[in-house]
């Protein structure tokens, strides 16, 4: 478990004024990572890693050329300057911590490194982003008991939760090739559905397109095939967290998921936020983790004293929906849900430990999805299938519009942040995607 250190001091201020602005996602206490390049890049402009500070990015490729950071921090800077963050992710917590500490000190008010580091800054308004890592494998979990119960109640009113849910972290293997970065649109998927009253399935565009508000967990150092990662080491294998929207075609899913689970209903598009917030930055927002009284306690391989003491994370999460009419009127998206990651039934460490207990080998840059992170009340539901009770109760939006499922042109934006008295605000930026019309069959 990451302990608090000097980088978390809420009194720290940066010489970059925008990092000190109230409500900033990226103060000097955060320092998340992304992959970027300038917009309208020339052929010589390559993708490279960067670190957010206020409204700017520390260009790690430019920083490497200055020789400003040396030792382990310098080695981590070189690894992070590549076109993907996999090499940096593979280095492990000591390297990540060394780079974070060196940047924290260099970005603080009064730092001697201000002048050379200013020359390495790029305005965020001038860049475009790529997926942060070369994702070899992607596994989606099902860690919200509230989401599982809400969904189960629609199909099994007498037994919403299946017997295994409180014992084992449920997951399925997803498709990494269709994961895109925030800001990209995707076409409404085509597929087979079985409409009520039909005698045979039909083929065509999805009519019940949904969102899934999740967190993404990027793996750092991997483990060898045939070995398991224990609970006490699990978080050493986690680089950081991002926002994640696992778009879902509910009508395709309802027809295809038995007996093997999600397939075409899930693999057409998933969206990640560009910024990855390290576990170290989230240390002030840890909470004790417990299962409710009366529920089974985790089996020994999913249990540890450290996980019980501070395995949960209080990350505030929000979903906003902007219709084409809102966009044409220059209106912001309407908030349709707000929840927190603290409600998850399984922690980050438990996901890693369970994933590897059978000898499965994780690799740097692999992505784990938490599953839809619905909270205990309906206004904290994180998918339209819950918010509309299976499509029976449309959501009312400003201006008289309603939504049961997503329509073409809709933009969904996820936001995440941590905030409390006595600690600096830590933000994740945004994770946005827009629904484009289906391609012709």
Residues forming the active site = 147
CA distance linking residue 134 with residue 85, whole number of Å: 8
CA distance linking residue 419 with residue 115, whole number of Å: 31
In this structure, which long-range contacts are made by residues 100-106, counting pairs with CB atoms below 8 Å and at least 24 apart in sequence?
A: 100/7, 100/31, 100/278, 100/280, 100/281, 101/5, 101/6, 101/7, 101/73, 102/69, 102/73, 103/31, 103/51, 103/58, 103/69, 103/73, 104/6, 104/7, 104/12, 104/28, 104/29, 104/31, 106/68, 106/69
């Amino acid at each position: 478990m990451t302990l608090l250190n000097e980088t978390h001091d809420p009194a720290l201020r940066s010489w970059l004024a925008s990092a000190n602005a109230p409500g900033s996602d990226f103060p000097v206490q955060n320092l998340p990572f992304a992959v970027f390049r300038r917009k309208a890049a020339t052929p010589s402009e390559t993708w490279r890693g960067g670190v957010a500070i206020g409204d700017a990015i520390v260009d790690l490729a430019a920083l490497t050329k200055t020789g400003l950071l040396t030792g382990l921090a310098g080695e981590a800077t070189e690894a992070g300057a590549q076109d993907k963050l996999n090499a940096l992710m593979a280095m492990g917590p000591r390297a990540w911590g060394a780079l974070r500490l060196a940047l924290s000190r260099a970005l603080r008010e009064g730092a001697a490194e201000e002048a050379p580091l200013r020359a390495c800054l790029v305005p965020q308004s001038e860049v475009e982003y790529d997926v942060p890592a070369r994702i070899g494998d992607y596994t989606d979990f099902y860690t919200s008991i509230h989401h599982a119960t809400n969904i189960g109640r629609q199909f099994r009113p007498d037994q919403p939760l299946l017997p295994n849910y409180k014992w084992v972290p449920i997951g399925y293997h997803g498709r990494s090739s269709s994961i895109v970065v925030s800001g990209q649109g995707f076409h409404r998927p085509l597929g087979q559905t079985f409409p009520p009253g039909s005698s045979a399935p039909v083929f065509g565009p999805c009519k019940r397109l949904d969102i899934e508000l999740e967190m993404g967990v990027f793996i750092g150092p991997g483990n060898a095939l045939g070995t398991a990662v224990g609970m006490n080491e699990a978080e050493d294998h986690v680089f950081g967290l991002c926002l994640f929207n696992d778009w879902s075609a509910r009508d395709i899913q309802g027809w295809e998921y038995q007996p093997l689970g999600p397939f075409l209903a899930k693999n057409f598009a998933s969206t990640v936020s560009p910024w990855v917030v390290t576990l170290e930055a989230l240390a002030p927002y840890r909470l004790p983790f417990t299962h409710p009284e009366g529920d089974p306690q985790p089996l020994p391989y999913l249990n540890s004293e450290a996980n019980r003491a501070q395995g949960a994370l209080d990350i505030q999460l929000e979903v906003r929906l902007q219709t084409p009419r809102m966009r044409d009127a220059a209106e912001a998206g309407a908030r349709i849900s707000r929840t927190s990651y603290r409600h998850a039934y399984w922690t980050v460490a438990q996901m890693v430990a369970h994933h590897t207990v059978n000898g499965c080998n994780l690799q740097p840059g692999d992505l784990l999805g938490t599953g839809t992170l619905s909270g205990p009340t309906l206004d904290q539901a994180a998918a339209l299938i819950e918010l509309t009770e299976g499509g029976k109760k449309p959501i009312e939006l400003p201006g008289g519009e309603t939504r049961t499922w997503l329509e073409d042109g809709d933009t969904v934006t996820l936001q995440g942040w941590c905030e409390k008295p006595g600690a600096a605000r830590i933000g994740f930026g945004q994770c946005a995607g827009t629904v484009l019309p289906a391609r012709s069959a």
